[in-house]
C-alpha cells in the first residue's frame, strides 16, 4: 500500500518539557542566571521559561515538587486537523488520557502515555512570545534579544527518556506522533537499547535509552541548542566557575554527531547543551542507521567513554519517583 509510506507531518515540533525540582529556587537560579533562559511568567508552583529563539511562550515549565524528573512533554501539531488526526490515532492505540484545557502559553491539549508511562500532550493553539521593551531584539525575525547572560542557549532541542522496553517505544511513537526512527542501537541479541526519533527535519527531537533498573517513566535529560560549538566550550567554563557538576563532554556523539555537554542542574536533573552543526535529516526516506554492540563499544565519536553515571543516573532517582 503505497499511501501508507508517505511521511506524516501532523506534529510540527517539540513544544515544551515540564521539569520537576525539589530545589526550586536553586534550579530557577541555574536556568536563568547560568543557563541563560528567560522567565515568561509564573503560575502556581511553576515558573515558565524559554530561550531567546523559542517562539512560544515557554519551552520549559519548571515545577516545584517533592521529586525530580519530567511531569509531561508537549508537542505542537501542524494544524487543528492534524491534531484531530493524531488524537484519533492515539485513541486507536488505547494510549489516551484525555483533553486538558491547556496551560499558560497554549490551548487545549490531548494527553496520552507512552508504553513506559511518560506523559505526552499534543496541542495546536499556542501563544507567541511577546517581548517586553527591555527584551525587544534589534532584528525583528527573532523572538527576543540575546540575553548575553550565562550560556548562549538558543532554543529547546530535544529530550531523552529511559524505558524498560525501548523496542515497544520504537513501535509506538511512529504510530502515535508520526515519528521517524533516524538511528538506533540494537544489541547482538536483537534487543533495541537506544532509539532516536524525529517528526521534522531535525535529526531527533526525542531519544530513548534502556532503563536497566526496571523503573518506569524516568527522564534522562533535556537538551537546548546553541548556535556554535564554541558556545558549548564557553558554557563549560561558566559551569565550572559556578560549581555546576559537569558529567561528560564537551565531546561529539558518534550517534547523530551532535556536539554535547552534560551537566546536572542543582536538583539533579541532567541537562544537555548541543550543537548539530548544519546536519539535518532532509531525505524523506532516511534509512534508519543501526549501531551494533561492537560499534557502541568504541565510545563517543572521538573516543570518550562516558562515565558510569550516564548509564545509571536518571530522574527521579530509583525509589523516589
CB of residue 171 to a second copy, shortest distance in Å: 22
Instruction: Give me the 8-37 binding string for a second copy, x by CB under 8 A, dash otherwise.
Output: -x--xx--------------------x---
Edge-to-edge order in the sheet of strand 192-198: 246-252, 259-264, 270-275, 219-225, 155-163, 206-210, 192-198, 180-186, 289-291
Q: What is the DSSP string of 63-115?
A: EE-SS-EEEEEEEEESSHHHHHHHHHHHHHHT-EEEEE--BTTB--EEEEE-T
Residue ranges in 145-164 that form contacts with a second copy under rule CB under 8 A = 145-146, 148-152, 154-155, 157
Q: Which residues touch 186 (CB under 8 Å, ≥6 apart)? A: 192, 193, 290, 291, 292
Residue from the set 24, 115, 250, 316 that interacts with a second copy by CB under 8 A: 250
Rounded-to-integer distance, Cα 290 and Cα 280, Å: 18
Q: Does 41 bind a second copy (CB under 8 A)?
A: no
Residue from the set 132, 140, 189, 308 that interacts with a second copy by CB under 8 A: 140
Instruction: Give me the 192-211 binding string for a second copy, x by CB under 8 A, dash otherwise.
Output: --------xxx---------
Rounded-to-integer distance, Cα 66 and Cα 316, Å: 10
Q: Are 142 and 151 in contact (CB under 8 A)?
A: no
CB nearer a second copy, residue 38 or residue 164:
38
Q: Which residues touch 140 (CB under 8 Å, ≥6 apart)? A: none
CB nearer a second copy, residue 164 or residue 264:
264
Residue ranges in 68-107 that form contacts with a second copy under rule CB under 8 A = 76-82
Residue from the set 64, 95, 104, 236 that interacts with a second copy by CB under 8 A: 236
Residue from the set 64, 93, 119, 238 that interacts with a second copy by CB under 8 A: 238
Q: Does 122 bind a second copy (CB under 8 A)?
A: no
Structure-block grid coordinates of residue 191: 534487543
Instruction: Give me the 162-191 binding string for a second copy, x by CB under 8 A, dash otherwise.
Output: ---------------------x--------
CB nearer a second copy, residue 168 or residue 236:
236
CA 238 distance to own-chain centroid: 22
CB of residue 8 to a second copy, shortest distance in Å: 9
CB nearer a second copy, residue 3 or residue 189:
3
Residue from the set 44, 101, 133, 139 that interacts with a second copy by CB under 8 A: 139
Structure-block grid coordinates of residue 158: 530535544
Q: How many residues does the chain have?
A: 321
Amino acid at each position: 500500500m503505497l499511501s501508507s509510506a508517505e511521511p506524516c507531518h501532523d506534529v510540527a515540533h517539540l513544544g515544551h518539557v515540564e521539569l520537576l525540582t525539589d530545589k526550586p529556587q536553586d534550579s530557577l537560579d541555574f536556568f536563568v542566571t547560568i543557563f541563560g533562559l528567560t522567565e515568561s511568567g509564573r503560575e502556581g508552583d511553576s515558573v515558565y521559561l524559554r530561550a531567546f529563539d523559542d517562539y512560544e511562550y515557554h519551552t520549559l515549565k519548571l515545577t516545584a515538587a517533592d521529586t525530580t524528573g519530567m511531569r509531561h512533554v508537549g508537542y505542537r501539531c501542524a494544524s487543528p486537523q492534524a491534531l484531530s488526526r493524531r488524537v484519533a490515532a492515539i485513541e486507536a492505540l488505547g494510549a489516551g488520557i484525555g483533553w486538558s484545557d491547556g496551560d499558560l502559553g497554549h490551548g487545549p491539549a490531548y494527553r496520552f502515555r507512552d508504553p513506559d508511562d511518560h506523559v505526552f500532550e499534543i496541542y495546536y493553539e499556542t501563544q507567541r512570545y511577546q517581548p517586553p521593551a527591555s527584551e525587544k531584539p534589534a532584528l525583528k525575525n527573532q523572538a527576543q534579544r540575546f540575553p548575553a547572560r550565562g550560556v548562549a542557549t538558543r532554543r529547546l532541542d530535544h529530550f531523552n527518556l529511559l524505558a524498560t522496553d525501548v523496542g515497544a517505544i520504537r513501535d509506538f511513537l511512529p504510530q502515535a506522533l508520526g515519528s521517524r526512527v533516524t538511528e538506533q542501537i540494537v544489541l547482538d541479541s536483537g534487543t533495541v537499547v537506544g532509539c532516536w526519533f524525529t517528526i521534522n527535519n531535525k535529526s531527533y527531537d526525542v531519544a530513548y535509552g534502556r532503563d536497566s533498573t526496571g523503573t518506569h517513566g524516568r527522564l534522562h535529560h533535556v537538551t537546548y541548542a546553541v548556535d556554535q560549538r564554541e558556545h558549548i566550550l564557553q558554557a563549560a567554563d561558566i559551569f565550572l566557575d559556578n560549581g555546576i557538576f559537569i558529567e561528560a563532554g564537551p565531546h561529539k556523539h558518534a550517534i547523530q554527531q551532535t556536539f554535547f555537554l552534560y551537566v546536572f542542574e542543582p536538583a539533579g536533573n541532567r541537562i544537555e547543551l548541543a550543537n548539530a552543526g548544519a546536519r539535518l535529516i532532509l531525505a524523506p526516506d532516511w534509512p534508519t542507521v543501526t549501531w551494533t554492540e561492537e560499534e557502541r563499544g568504541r565510545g563517543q565519536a572521538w573516543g570518550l567513554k562516558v562515565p558510569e553515571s550516564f548509564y545509571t543516573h536518571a530522574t527521579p532517582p530509583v525509589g523516589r519517583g
